[in-house]
Each structure stands twice: as structure tokens, then as C-alpha cells.
Amino acid sequence: MFTGARIKLTGWYLLIIMTITVFFSFAIFFILSGEIDRGYTRLEHRYEQVGGTLPDDPNRPTLLDPQILDTAKDNIRTNLIYIDLLIFVASATAGYFLAGRTLKPISVMISEENRFITDASHELRTPITALRTSLEVNLRDKNLDFKEARNLLQDNLHEVEQLQALTDNLLLLAKGSNDNDALNVGQADLKEVVESVVTKLTPLARKKKITLESKVGEITLKADSDKLTRLLVILVDNAIKYSSKETKIEVTGKKTDHRVMIGVSDQGIGIKDSDIVHIFDRFYRADSSHAGGTGYGLGLAIAKKIVGQHGGTITVKSGLGKGTTFTILLPLT
Ligand code: ADP
């Protein structure tokens, strides 16, 4: 697809360059021809002033031979044609190269979008197929009693909720990565945000007897509180998912210069170095993550997007079997 577009773009570059070149060649030719004609006329006048009798003077100098004018014009014409041909070849080569460079980011973007669509369809297809199979099998079961049907509906509802969460996340990610329109920026109270996240996720942590601690000072920053909450929910939820029982998770927050540093540390399974480079990619899940249960590998991609929308950075340090710390730096204003 892009070879065709590249050739077309090269064609357009060539058309523009050659139109200008040919226009200038004609202009140069007419200007030079005019100059030659005028110079020749001046020479004729001078020759007549010193007694020459043009046009039939048998002794006139070769310089005044009209043939010389045509030869000069022919030479100019030929040289201009050669120069135009040279410009054509050079522009075609440079144009093809430039067209490639122009189209490259578009081609990268399109293949990324295609990958996103393929991955998303794949992720959606698996739970939908499971849901359908479960419904079909149970519908065929003539002995299905009310209690079993209720359990089935409950299971299905859980699947549907997961699908809904997945589609919500997909929609959020599908919006351009630099799309800041969706941000609702105001004065955000970090302590309040972290406490709401801790309150929300404490029941989940309790199931694994994990201690969830918040060590955040009084900090207000210019940010979207809802997005900040979502970001911290993703990180703390992951910390719970990928930690074993009776461990500790700590959320810290402090001011440094003009920035806020937020940390989420756990004592969980850790991340391999080879995985660390990929964990912020959409749909990436480390093999070890299956121990943490279900997930679509979208959380950290969303986290990175939210941090990026706020003009901040997110980094991770991890030791296998020791734990992981995510550090976020956000500008105060
Ligand atoms: P998900 O958790 O749905 O798999 P994420 O995008 O949130 O997707 O995380 C991507 C991967 O990063 C996870 O599958 C897991 O392998 C790894 N990961 C994220 N957070 C942690 C953590 N706190 N400890 C260990 N591994 C983690």
C-alpha cells in the first residue's frame, strides 16, 4: 500500500519541481536569446557606423554572421535541456527518498493501529466465545434447575463486567495518545486521592492479608483527580495482584522542586529485566503475571498515557522475588 503512495508522492514532488524548472528554463532561454539579439543589433549598428553595409557586405566579420546567433541559441537550448534532465533525475531520487521519510511515521502509526485492532479483537473474542459456549451448553441442558441457572447468570454477569471494563479501557486507549482534551484539570489533593484509592482497594488487599499503607504529605497539584485516582488504582491493584500473602504495599508522595514524586512499592513477585521494557506496551503480560490472575495487559499502558497527559514520567525498578516500585514524577502546575 505504501509503495503506491510513495510513488504517487514522488510523482507530485517531481511535478512541482519540474514545473518550476521548466518555467525557469524557458525564462532563462528567452532572456538570454533577447540579450544575444540585442547585442547582435548593437554590433550591426556599430559596424554600419564604421562604414559597413549590412546585410549584404561580403567582408563582414564572422562575429556578425547571423548563423552564429542560431548556434548560440541552440547551444543554450541543449544545455538547458541537459540541466533539466539532470534536475529530473536528481529530484526523482531525492523525491523518492523524501516521500519514504514523509510516509514512514504514517506507516508506523497505521501498523500500530492495525496491531491494536487485531489484539483488541482477539482479546474480545476469547471471552465472548466462552460466554456463548457456556450459554449454548446450558440452554441444551434440559435438567437445568433454577439454582444452576442463577449461578450461570452470575458467572455470565461477571464475564460481561470484565468485557465492559475491557471495552472501556480500549476506548480510553484508542483516543490519540496526545489527546489532552479529555483531561479535567483542577487543584487535586494528592493525600485525598491516595486515601480514596487505599479505601477502595483495602478489601481486596485484606483477602491476601496484605497491608496497604499510605505515606503522603499535604500536596496539591494541578491535575485531573479522576485520572490520578485511576492511575493509582491501576498501580495498587497490580501491586496486590502480583504480591503474595502477608506482604506490604506502600504508597508514598512527596514534593521535589517543582514536581511531585509518587511511589507505589510492593514486596511481590517482581518483573524480569526482559519484561520491564515491554510492560507499558498495550496487551503485554509477562508470563509470570498469570499467577496474578486475569488481566488484559492494558493497565500500565493506560497508566503511562495518564502520566503523559499530565506531562510527567513513570519509571519502574524491580527485583525478581523481591518486589517492584513504580515512581511517578508529575509537575506541580
Ligand atoms: P495486567 O495486570 O492486566 O496483566 P498491566 O498492563 O497492568 O496488565 O501490567 C502488565 C504486566 O506488567 C503484567 O502482566 C505483569 O506481568 C507486570 N506487572 C505490572 N505490575 C506489576 C507488579 N507490581 N509486580 C509484578 N509485575 C507487575
Question: From ligand 1's centre to the CA of 238, what distance in Å?
Answer: 6
Instruction: Give the number of the atom of ligand 1 that is nearest the alpha carbon of residue 297.
Output: 8
Grade residue 111 by pLDDT with cuts at 50, 70 and 90: confident
Instruction: Report the nearest-CA residue for atom 21 of ligand 1.
Output: 238
Per-residue pLDDT, 278: 93
Share of the chain above pLDDT 90, in %: 62
Count how many Cα atoms sit within 13 Å of the Cα of residue 12 in the half-sphere of its side chain. Answer: 7
Taking the centre of ligand 1 as the mean of its atom positions, its distance from the CA of residue 323, in whole angstroms, is 12
Average pLDDT of the residues in 174-202: 83
pLDDT of residue 180: 55
For 200-222, what is each residue's pLDDT tens digit? 999 999 999 999 999 998 999 99
Instruction: Tell me the mean pLDDT in the region 249-263.
Output: 94
Contact 21 CB / ligand 1 (< 6 Å)? no
Stretch 164-193: mean pLDDT? 81
303 lines ligand 1 (CB under 6 A): no
Q: CA-based angle 59:63:65, to the nearest 5?
A: 70
Query: DSSP of 144-168, one letter per residue?
Result: --HHHHHHHHHHHHHHHHHHHHHHH
| Statement: residue 241 has pLDDT above 90 | yes
pLDDT digits (tens, 9 = 90+) for 34-50: 999 998 888 888 888 88
Residue 326: is its pLDDT beyond 90? Answer: yes
Specify the DSSP element, H or E, that contains 104.
helix 66-140
| pLDDT tens column, 276-311 | 999 999 888 888 766 666 778 899 999 999 999 999
* Cis amide leading into 203 (omega within 30): no
> Cα–Cα distance between 172 and 216 in angstroms, integer?
28
Query: What are the C-alpha distances in Å from 85 to residues 52, 72, 89?
Result: 43, 20, 6
Could you tell me how many helices (H) and strands (E) the chain has, helices first?
7, 7
What's the whole-number mean pLDDT along residues 10-25? 96
Per-residue pLDDT at 57 exceeds 80? no
Give the three cell numbers for residue 47: 559596424
pLDDT above 80: residue 11: yes
Min mean pLDDT across 146-155, 172-181, 259-268, 287-296 is at 172-181
- Is 305's C-beta closer than 6 angstroms to any atom of ligand 1? no
Nearest to 229 by CA among 271, 283, 192, 273: 192
In 3-state terms, what secondary structure has residue 267? coil
299 pocket-lining for ligand 1 (C-beta < 6 Å): yes
Contact 326/316 with Cβ under 8 angstroms? yes
Q: What is the pLDDT of residues 67-82, one digit of tens each?
A: 888 899 999 999 999 9
pLDDT of residue 104: 93
Ligand 1, residue 285: give the atom nearest the CA.
14
Q: How far is the CA of 233 from the centre of ligand 1 (A)?
A: 13
Ligand 1 centroid from CA 187, angstroms = 30
pTM value is 0.70
